[in-house]
Every structure is written in C-alpha cells, then in structure tokens.
Structure 1
C-alpha cells in the first residue's frame, strides 16, 4: 500500500510539473508570437504640426497628402475653406503612421499654436511663394514659433508652396530671404512644393519620416510616454 501511495504521489507531482512546463511554454510562445506580430505589423506613430500664416495653402497641402498616400481622395480644391481651429489628417508612410495637425494661420488664431508644440515630433511650415508682400509676416511667425522652448529639437520642413503659379518666386530666392543659415543647429530642409498639383510633396514627407525616426526629440517623446519601439532588422 505504501509503495502504491508513493507512486501516486510521484505521478501527481510529475503531472503537475508537466502542466507547469506546458503553461510556461505557452506563455513563452505567446510572447514570441506577439513580438513577431509587432515586428511585422506595428507602425510608429508621429505627430506633425502644419503651420503657416493664413492663405499659405496648408489645408490644400494636407488634402493633397491624403490623395497621394491614402486610398480615399482628399477634398477637392473648390471645397477647401480657411481653417478655423484644427484639421486632422492621417497617412501611412513605410512603417510609420503620421497624424498631421493643421492649425489656422489667421493672426487671432496663432496663439493656439503653442498648445500643440509639446507633443509634436516635427514641424512643417508653409509659405506662399507667390505672395512676396507677406514674406516678412511669414518669417516673423516662423521665428516666433522656433523660439518656443517646447519646439526645441523638432525637425523642421519649410515648404515654398504654390510653385504651380507663374509668379511664385524660386526656392533659392525665398531661401536667401529667410536666411536659413541661422537654423544650422536644427535639422531642417527647405523645399519648393505645390499643394495644388502635388509636386515635391512625396519627397519632402519621406525625408521628414526618416529624420523623425532618428531624431533625439522622438526618443524624448517615447521616453515620456513609456513607448518601447520594436527593433528593426
């Protein structure tokens, strides 16, 4: 009787140990599969501000972005109205999701810009290249934004918009006027684009995605939210 009881006890212990090992293996496999799924399908999300004074073509630019990168078409030009407050657009580029915040550029609305600085990974600033009479106003608004401490280290994409118009100044001329060499300590690019016909947009956005992925500011925002990126191959 004693031997039988001992055998039953040992059998029970073996069964319990087997169940524990099996459960642990299932947990490990789930963790591995979850990691593989994340590696293959997860996308980093970036928040990008679209700023500029009124009539710079920010919303037209955003709608053209949607048309280029999304299945659905953006709004047609005749249905776009000046932004009062905020427009939001979402696209996917490579392994990244980008959420764009298009803010109104009228003088009375520029005070709300700074409320979005802290969470932005990067800044896109549009200038109407066909309206030289407002270059100074546009430059002043840009400089004020860049001085704000909550935009420190944010990559900057400056776009000379409306290049489809015959009276648009060249990118080189606008570059000289803005005196961009003062931005040497900030990662930035200056590009001529057209929110109307889409020229230059895709190249500019893909540059911005690459810069954001390597940016120290992105690392800072990730650390703040506790986000752990999936390592790339």
Structure 2
C-alpha cells in the first residue's frame, strides 16, 4: 500500500524538468537576469545584491518551479575565451536565453557573431531561443527593433524553432516574467527535445 501511495504521490507531483542556457557576451547582464528570475519565482529567495554582481567566470546554476515545470538554468561566462566551452552544454539544453547588452553598441556585432555561431550547432537544432535586449531601463539604449535588424541576418539558420527578440531590464525586473513565460511555453510544446521527468518536489 505504501509503495502504491508513494508512486501516486510522485506521479501527481512530478515535474517536467527543462535545462535552459543563459548565454551572451560578458557584462550583458546574464547573472543579473538569473538572480532576478530566482527572486521573482522563488518565494523567500534572498540572493546576491543585483548592484554588486561581477563578471561570471565559469558557471552559475539556478532553479525555479512554475506549476508542473522545473527550469534549471546554466549561466555561462561570456568572455571570448569561455565561449569555446558553450557547445559542451548544447546537447543537454531545452532552451537558450541569449542576453544582449543594449547599451553597448560597440560590441553589438560581436554579440551577433557569437549568436550566429551558436545557432549553427547541430546540437541546438529545434531548441527555442529567446534573444533578450537587456538594460532597456537605461536612457539611450538600443531598442528591440535596432537589435532585431542585425540579428535577423541569422534568420535562415533559425529554421523551424521558436525564436523571439524582446526587451527587458534584468536590474529592475521589467520583462523578466514575460520572458520566462515565453520560454516555458516554447519548451513545453517543443517536439524536438522532450523534458526530463523528476519526482523531486523539493
């Protein structure tokens, strides 16, 4: 009887687990976005001070639960020498959030090149991608349409996957909920890569 009840409990409370990569150049605001996401979706979470976050060297990990969905985030360093390690995580990922610093016009083309190289990987075929035009709270930043005009050069490589460019401010939280809602919808309906089921409700 206990085994039956235990199995029923695990079935009712199981979560579909999806792994989401957070990529982009250094200082784009990837870790700030991750911390803001954990703050908004994890009750009582008290993490890093957003104003004191420094450049990531290596990997930051985060987790949020939304209903029956669990998102596991891998926030990877964006320095040029670390970009060569991104591909090691592609095969296990279900979605990508590519963060662009909308205040740094001088490196916008570098950001697009990193994005363009990323989507060429066969390991990411069919994986939904959200391009986040970050730092929209700062006066004089590039707007979504300006960033879209450059990133649209990669349109032919995107294929049938879901892909969207939207604005946000990781620092203030504007656009974070909407971004996460979009990525959840995309990974849930994606037929190319199915979730990992877990009975862990913690």
After TM superposition, the score normalised by the length of structure 1 is 0.78
Higher relative contact order (CA 8 A, sep 6+): 2
Which structure has the greater CA radius of gyration?
1
Alignment-derived partner of residue 202 in structure 1: 177
Alignment-derived partner of residue 26 in structure 2: 54
Alignment-derived partner of residue 13 in structure 2: 41
User: What secondary structure sits across from 1:117 in the alignment?
Assistant: helix
Task: Point out where structure 2 has 5 or more consecutive residues left out of the alignment.
Answer: none
Q: How many residues align?
A: 196
Is the Cα contact below 8 Å between 2:16 and 2:198 reproduced in 1? no
Q: CA deviation at 1:30?
A: 4.4
Aligned with 2:127 (options 147, 150, 154)? 154
Alignment-derived partner of residue 128 in structure 1: 101
Change (3 A) 1:51 1:228: closer
Higher strand proportion, which one? 2
Q: CA deviation at 1:38?
A: 2.9
Instruction: Write the distance in 2 (CA, Å) between the matches of 1:94 and 1:75.
Output: 25
Change (3 A) 1:67 1:148: same
Q: CA deviation at 1:187?
A: 1.0
Alignment-derived partner of residue 163 in structure 2: 188
Task: Point out where structure 1 has 5 or more consecutive residues left out of the alignment.
Answer: 1-25
Alignment-derived partner of residue 65 in structure 1: 37
Alignment-derived partner of residue 21 in structure 1: none
Aligned with 2:61 (options 84, 88, 101)? 88
Computed over aligned residues only, the root mean square deviation of the Cα atoms, in angstroms, reads 1.9
Q: Which moved more, 1:170-179 or 1:187-196?
A: 170-179
Higher helix proportion, which one? 1
User: What secondary structure sits across from 2:117 in the alignment?
Assistant: helix
